[in-house]
């Protein structure tokens, strides 16, 4: 019996060492994503953008001789759920860096966990001013253009479409209110009239009360700063209430969930949202090459911010290479060095080149598929806004413009 016990003990130790070795062979990066809730249609394609970066890095040998692993946790588009998901990534998964979250309010909530834990948080989509204002000890960044730029472009585009009066519905959070306020201020500055500013709460079964306020003054257009699940309900209820004007969308409504949703008659390629315009952060360098690889791996999607998710993961990994370690403080301290000028410019598809330069002790300047990712003191980036349109129940990208 004693020999059997000893043998079992030895086997157990060997298995334990094997499990430990396997675990050590992966450097984990977290992803806080809205896989359910009001932004549920956005989550999977954005995760795919991050996964493409992980797959490409691993195919080239990984980081510091180690494979990367992406640990995805659902925020349900909720600050409370997001905070809990962030705690699990930090305490259970022990990640040094996280890509996410999407909603600005969720990112702010998650930062209350990640900042004291010294875990880097890079959002690909949180655009509200509240993210910049965080007392974050330089642990919170974003690869998306802030709302003040998009709001100005939205107002100018609405004016170019010759809408004299608009009503605005916006999700009642940091993102929605900040973007709506910038839009209103700019639109009125140039002589436009905002008939109604209507906030809404997420995940309600009906928005008929909000819709009635929107259409009361018969605006030329309804501007929707909404999320896809809620926004589809609002479109249907506006039409049912007799609204016959135009719609204009913010970035939160871009994608197949809305373009081919209940506001579209797919059989005929028409519907109340046919011809509607919208805005979103523009793409950057070699975006066509990225899109070709993305589509081949995951299938095409018009959902925004997979560019930004890809760049967030790439920058985290390059910061690890430059630092020679995969810890939160090391990633934080090396992010700007790999993202900002000066340095040798490296682009999509040039991971090997970037790593080689860093190993030679040279500086690099990563040029993102989402655009220039030179981080400011507050962890923000600047960039352009893309104008898009719905035609035949599909999203058509049109042109880029500055704020």
The domains of the chain, with CATH numbers, are 27-145+287-372 (3.40.50.2300), 147-281 (3.40.50.2300)
pLDDT, residue 320, reads 98
pLDDT, residue 317, reads 98
pLDDT by 10s per residue, the chain, length 403: 333 333 433 334 333 433 333 345 899 999 999 999 999 999 999 999 999 999 999 999 999 999 999 999 999 999 999 999 999 999 999 999 999 999 999 999 999 999 999 999 999 999 999 999 999 999 999 999 999 899 999 999 999 999 999 999 999 999 999 999 999 999 999 999 999 999 999 999 999 999 999 999 999 999 999 999 999 999 999 999 999 999 999 999 999 999 999 998 877 767 999 999 999 999 999 999 999 999 999 999 999 999 999 999 999 999 999 999 999 999 999 999 999 999 999 999 999 999 999 999 999 999 999 999 999 999 999 999 999 999 999 999 998 876 5
318 and 311 Cβ atoms separated by less than 8 Å:
no
E strands, 284-355, are 344-346
pLDDT, residue 69, reads 98
| HSE-CB for 109 with a 13 A CA cutoff | 22
Cα(141)–Cα(107) distance, integer angstroms: 10
pLDDT, residue 156, reads 96
pLDDT, residue 265, reads 82
Burial of 147 (0-12, 13-18, 19+ CB in 10 A): buried
Cα(187)–Cα(165) distance, integer angstroms: 9
Q: What phi and psi, each to the nearest 5 degrees, are found at residue 279?
A: -130, 155
pLDDT, residue 266, reads 72
Helix (H, G, I), strand (E, B) or coil at 163: coil
DSSP assignment, residue 67?
Answer: E
pLDDT, residue 25, reads 80
The DSSP bridge pattern shows strands 385-391 and 394-401 to be antiparallel
Helix (H, G, I), strand (E, B) or coil at 110: helix
pLDDT, residue 372, reads 95
In 3-state terms the chain splits into helix, strand, coil percentages (rounded to 5) of: 45, 20, 35
Cα(369)–Cα(159) distance, integer angstroms: 30
- Of 70, 28, 24, the residue nearest 49 (C-alpha): 70
Cα(119)–Cα(331) distance, integer angstroms: 9
pTM for this structure? Answer: 0.91
Q: What phi and psi, each to the nearest 5 degrees, are found at residue 290?
A: -60, -50
- Of 234, 198, 230, the residue nearest 77 (C-alpha): 230
Q: What phi and psi, each to the nearest 5 degrees, are found at residue 84?
A: -65, -40
pLDDT, residue 268, reads 72
Which token pair is 141? 């960044």
107 and 121 Cβ atoms separated by less than 8 Å:
yes
pLDDT, residue 269, reads 67
pLDDT, residue 393, reads 93
Which token pair is 34? 């809205």
pLDDT, residue 402, reads 67
């Amino acid at each position: 019996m004693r020999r059997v016990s000893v043998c079992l003990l030895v086997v157990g130790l060997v298995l334990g060492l094997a499990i430990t070795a396997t675990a050590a062979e992966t450097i984990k990066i977290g992803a806080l994503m809205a896989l359910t809730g009001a932004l549920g249609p956005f989550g999977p394609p954005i995760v795919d953008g991050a996964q493409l970066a992980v797959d490409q890095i691993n195919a080239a040998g990984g980081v510091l001789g180690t494979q990367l692993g992406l640990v995805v946790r659902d925020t349900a588009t909720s600050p409370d759920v997001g905070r809990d998901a962030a705690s699990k990534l930090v305490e259970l998964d022990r990640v040094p860096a996280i890509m996410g979250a999407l909603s600005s309010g969720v990112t702010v909530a998650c930062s209350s966990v990640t900042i004291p834990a010294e875990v880097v948080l890079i959002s690909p989509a949180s655009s509200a001013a509240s993210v910049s204002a965080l007392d974050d000890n330089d642990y919170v960044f974003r690869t998306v253009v802030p709302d003040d730029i998009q709001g100005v472009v939205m107002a100018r585009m609405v004016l170019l479409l010759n809408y004299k009066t608009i009503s605005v519905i916006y999700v009642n959070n940091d993102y929605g209110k900040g973007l709506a306020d910038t839009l209103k201020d700019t639109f009125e500055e140039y002589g436009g009239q905002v008939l109604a500013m209507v906030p809404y709460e997420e995940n309600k079964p009906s928005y008929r009360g909000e819709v009635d306020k929107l259409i009361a003054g018969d605006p030329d257009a309804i501007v929707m700063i909404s999320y896809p699940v809620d926004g589809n309900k609002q479109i249907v209820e506006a039409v049912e209430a007799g609204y016959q004007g135009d719609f204009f969308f913010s970035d939160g409504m871009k994608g197949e969930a809305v373009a081919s949703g209940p506001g579209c008659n797919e059989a005929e390629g028409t519907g109340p949202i046919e011809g509607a315009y919208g805005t979103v952060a523009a793409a950057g360098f070699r975006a066509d090459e990225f899109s070709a690889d993305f589509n081949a791996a995951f299938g095409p999607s018009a959902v925004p911010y997979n560019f930004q998710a890809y760049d967030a993961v790439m920058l985290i990994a390059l910061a690890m290479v430059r630092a020679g370690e995969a810890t939160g403080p090391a990633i934080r301290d090396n992010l700007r060095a790999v993202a900002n000028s000066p340095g040798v410019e490296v682009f999509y598809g040039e991971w090997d080149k970037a790593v080689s330069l860093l190993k030679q002790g040279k500086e690099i300047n990563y040029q993102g598929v989402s655009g220039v990712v030179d981080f400011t003191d507050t962890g923000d980036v600047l960039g352009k806004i893309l104008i898009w349109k719905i035609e035949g129940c599909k999203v058509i990208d049109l042109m880029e413009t500055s704020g």
